[in-house]
């Protein structure tokens, strides 16, 4: 393989058999189950990096079902997003993510810097309850429930919230183990078609685990819950802060 062929081929690893195709990536019938809860402000201060600023001691615990996506296929994901501001602009800091598919783990980490780990999340409807869970191996780390489609949510408010920016810390080590890239990345969801949105009573339990440490942002009070479906494109990112140059 010639040097120029390497340059043309090298879109993702491995070189001759990429883990995922080039983006952007479109999602169809992406299903969200989001429980917003109040947590310990001191715990948030320990995990939210500057120059992001915490607005309120809130966390959005998200379970996301993705049955049909270009390049990444069919998978389920869960994690925590913390409401923040960056230069006065409201958005969400993606703190943790756990999912069950290699391609979006590799692509998410390498392209944007999503904090993805391999685990076993699940979303299902059981009679009149929406039920979701996160298992890391055989251990239950998170359990969420919500009354199924009790009340319609405000469509415009939900769509507006989906169009706000999200933030990630992208970390790539050097071959000697030192940090080569450490950047704050901003990205948006694009071409969003919100199909339905519901709210209702909800409960969330987070349980201690050495590796899947979602319980380090404890649940003090459930504030609200949202269940919605949408088609959307995951926009590619922009570097808004370089920690290696600051």
Catalytic residues: 116
* 3-class SS letters over the chain: CCHHHHHHHCCCCCCCCCCCCCCCEEEEEEEEEEEEEECCHHHHHHHCCCCCEECCCEEEEEEEEEEEECCCEEEEEEEEEEEEEECCEEEEEEEEEEECCHHHHHHHHHHHCCCEEECEEEEEEECCEEEEEEEECCEEEEEEEEECCCEECCHHHHHHHHCCCEEEEEEEECCCCCEEEEEEEEECEEEEEEEEEEECCEEEEECCCCCCCHHHCCCCEEEEEEEEEEEEEECCCEEEEECCCC
């Amino acid at each position: 393989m010639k040097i120029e062929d390497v340059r043309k081929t090298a879109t993702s690893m491995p070189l001759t058999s990429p883990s995922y195709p080039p983006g952007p990536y479109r999602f169809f019938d992406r299903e969200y189950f989001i429980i917003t809860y109040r947590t310990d402000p001191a715990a948030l201060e320990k995990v939210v990096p500057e120059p992001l600023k915490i607005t309120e001691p809130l966390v959005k615990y998200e379970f996301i079902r993705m049955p049909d996506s270009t390049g990444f296929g069919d998978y389920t994901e869960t994690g925590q997003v913390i409401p923040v501001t960056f230069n006065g602009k409201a958005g969400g800091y993606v703190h943790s993510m756990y999912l069950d598919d290699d391609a979006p783990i590799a692509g998410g980490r390498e392209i944007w810097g999503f904090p993805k780990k391999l685990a076993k999340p699940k979303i299902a409807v059981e009679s009149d309850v929406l039920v979701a869970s996160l298992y890391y191996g055989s251990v239950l780390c998170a359990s969420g429930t919500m009354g199924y489609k009790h009340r319609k949510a405000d469509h415009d408010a939900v769509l507006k919230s989906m169009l706000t920016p999200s933030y990630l810390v992208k970390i790539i080590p050097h071959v000697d183990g030192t940090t080569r890239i450490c950047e704050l990345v901003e990205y948006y969801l694009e071409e969003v078609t919100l199909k339905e949105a519901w709210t209702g009573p909800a409960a969330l339990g987070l349980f201690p685990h050495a590796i899947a440490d979602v319980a380090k942002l404890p649940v003090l009070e459930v504030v609200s819950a949202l269940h919605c479906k949408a088609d959307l494109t995951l926009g590619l990112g922009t570097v808004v802060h370089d920690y290696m140059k600051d």
